[in-house]
Chain A
Amino acid sequence: MNQLLEIKDFSVTYVNKSKKVYAVKNVNLKINKGDSLGIVGESGSGKSTLAMALLRLLPEKNTQITGKANFIGKDLVQLNQKELKNIRWNELAVVFQKSMNALSPVHRIGPQIEDIYRVHKPNASKEEIFSRITYLLRLVNLSERVYTLYPHELSGGMLQRVSIAISLVHNPKLLIMDEATTALDVVTQGQILDEIVKMEQTLDVTRIMITHDISVVAASCNKIAVMYAGEFMEIGYVKDVLKNPKHPYTRGLLSSFPSLKGEKLKLTGISGYLPNLSVKQEGCIFAPRCQQATEKCKQEKPLGVEMNENTVWCHLYSSGGELINEDQKPVYKD
């Protein structure tokens, strides 16, 4: 079985006294071993919520998680604290958005990593830990010196590398990177992405990369999932989706990025705003902003249409994957 993670009808709802916010709604996703999946979408589309929910790091008091998330034979949604503890970092590790703050400012870096190492190997000897950590530091291109330094003595890019090294401490099967390179300048970002891709070839790790920067996905992932307002619009191989986007939203998203090559075109955006996520909406969530929306789109939720291992959730396509109406070839005009 090659499948590492399968998410089925996964929903995350934030609840407070006065209202519910449906942050992630009935998403379905499969990740195979060795994949690197980039989840893209605008701010507030539920990318980080999805990741945090998978890691079960959201406060249980005010969040409801439903659905299934089968991760190597265990359902992440149903695990109790003890089982969760065993899975965390051993199998499932994460690198967060703001790695600048990912370490305690008043403890030296080395001992912090030691503590993390000891969570799952409490009896590890000091030499064993040290050699493991220095190996990882070298892997992310840092000198051993970092071990005895405090976080404030490193630059943002170095701290990011430390975070990545920490996430690899126990050889996790799945690594979630939540905007892990967003705060960095493009040069450092490029270097780190290269290192990540190289690392994956040596370590057997599957990666989910959450970002709003499509170029990051293009540079470092083989699959892409486009998310909008808590739902997936399109999932598929990067080479297919970026070259030939099927969903009107993906088209809109891609046309808001400038291209390096070719004719200089005016950038177009998608008019309108994200819908209010505290109101349940009938039909396709993107319909109000979609220029090709029909009556059907406003009333009925589209089902996933499979097209050579890619999936798109749009009424423009028949279940076989062909355009239902040739005139409605997805386009995006201002």
Chain B
Amino acid sequence: MKKYVTRRVFMGLLTIFVVFTINFIIIRLAPGDPISTIMGKDNDDPILRTALEEKYGFDKPMITQYAIYLKNALTGDLGISIIYNKEVMAMITERIVPTLLLVLTAAILAVIIGTLMGMYAAKNEGSKIDVIFSGAAYIFNSMPAFWLGLILIIIFSSVLGLLPSYGMINTRDAHTGFDYILDVIVHMVLPVCTLVLVEIPIYFRIAKSSILQVTNEDFIVTLRATGMSERKIFNKYILRNAILPTITIFGISLAYLITGVALIETVFAWPGTGSLMLTAINQRDYPTLMGIYLIMSISVAVVMVLVDIVYATFDPRIRF
């Protein structure tokens, strides 16, 4: 097990390094450059251009730029945003917390609710509730998340006026202490609901099909033949075996959410990394973009390593 964990961690680090390098190259291959954005459309003063290029180090060959960037990144210095003129590291730390708050809350809620629904549906296969759950799962699974977010805003904010539609806190009415937490929770309801509704069907279907499959395994028939109670068989043997695919899907889905939440953050004006990333892409803000990608790849790698370790504790067969 120790060897396995070490290997997974090492693989994670390697992944981050590779992603880091590929990002560095891809961003610079894309057309457009940040200098033009700073200088503006009509201004094409060669002296200013050279000065700016020198300031940000774009005059050096790409390999040198890469070496410098890698060296700085290792010490935690991700450079200075070309557009905002602020330290990238500070900008990201400020915004990564809301993103992770949103993503983790949604992912954990979705995995719990979806799996419970799947368990119920599998136990009562063919019942009315199973049919309703499965039908709803199809509908929500085929909905684009950002559209669902907009519809929720229309229903709960515009028409019913129950919930705030944007931001993380009420800027006009600053709260402290417990009220602050409550304020954040109220603001989280809609974006979290959107993500949860879109994620539930995945966990629902995985849990249901996996439980049904395990229920038909030979060892379950053997356990039934021993006279063991159905409850014990389900809680101890079926669940433990059926939960394995859910763990895998949780890892994949969480990684997808961390990077894919940008659109939802935009819909709800959530002050996370998503909106920062979208502006950075539009304005070719290389340092910011690189920084966000780096943090995201680290988050994804950490999630993957954790999921792999959790999986290995559940399934002895893959501890190689």
Chain B interface residue number, banded? 20 to 34
Q: Please give, as numbers and ranges, the residues of chain A lying within 8 Å of B225 by CB-CB distance.
A: 55, 57, 88-89, 93-94
Taking CB atoms, residues of chain A closer than 8 Å to B241 are 104-106
Q: Which residues of the partner chain A approach B227 to less than 8 Å between Cβ atoms? A: 84-90, 119-120
Query: Do B222 and A96 have beta carbons less than 8 Å apart?
Result: yes
Flag whether B144 is at the interface (Cβ < 8 A): no
Decide yes or no whether B316 CB sits under 8 A from chain A.
yes
- For A98, the chain B residues whose CB sits under 8 A away are 218
Q: A115-B236, A152-B317 are in contact. Are A102 and B222 (CB under 8 A)?
A: yes
Can you list 20 A-B contacts (CB < 8 A)? Answer: A55-B225, A57-B225, A87-B227, A88-B227, A89-B227, A96-B222, A102-B219, A102-B222, A104-B219, A104-B237, A104-B241, A105-B315, A107-B240, A115-B232, A116-B228, A119-B226, A119-B227, A120-B227, A152-B316, A163-B222
Within 8 A of B (CB), among A146-173: 150, 152, 163, 166
Residues of B216-241 contacting chain A, CB below 8 A: 217-219, 221-229, 232, 236-237, 240-241
Please name the residue on chain A nearest to B224 by beta carbon.
Answer: A57
Question: How does the 8 Å CB contact mask read for A49-88 relative to B, with 1 for contact and 0 for none?
Answer: 0000001010000000000000000000000000011111
Q: Which 4 A-B pairs have the closest CB atoms?
A: A88-B227, A101-B218, A85-B227, A89-B226
A116 to B, closest residue via Cβ:
B226
Interface contact B317-A150, CB-CB below 8 Å: yes
Complex Cα–Cα for A163 and B219 (A): 10
Inter-chain CA distance A117–B236, complex, in Å, is: 15
Contacts of B69 in A (CB 8 A): none
Tell whether, in the assembled complex, residue B222 and residue A105 are in contact, meaning their CB atoms are under 8 Å apart.
no
Asked whether any CB of chain A lies closer than 8 Å to the CB of B20, the reply is: no
* A-chain residues with CB within 8 Å of residue B140 when the two chains form the complex: none
Within the complex, the shortest CB–CB distance from A182 to chain B, in Å, comes to 13
Is B56 at the interface (CB under 8 A from chain A)? no
Within 8 A of A (CB), among B280-320: 314-317
Is A103 part of the contact surface with B, judged by Cβ < 8 Å?
A: yes
The complex places the Cα of A168 from the Cα of B102 at a distance, in Å, of 54
Instruction: Please give the distance in Å from B234's CB to the nearest CB on chain A.
Output: 12
Residues of chain B within 8 A (CB-CB) of A107 are 237, 240
Instruction: For the complex formed, measure the closest distance between the CB of B266 and the CB atoms of chain A, giving whole angstroms.
Output: 42
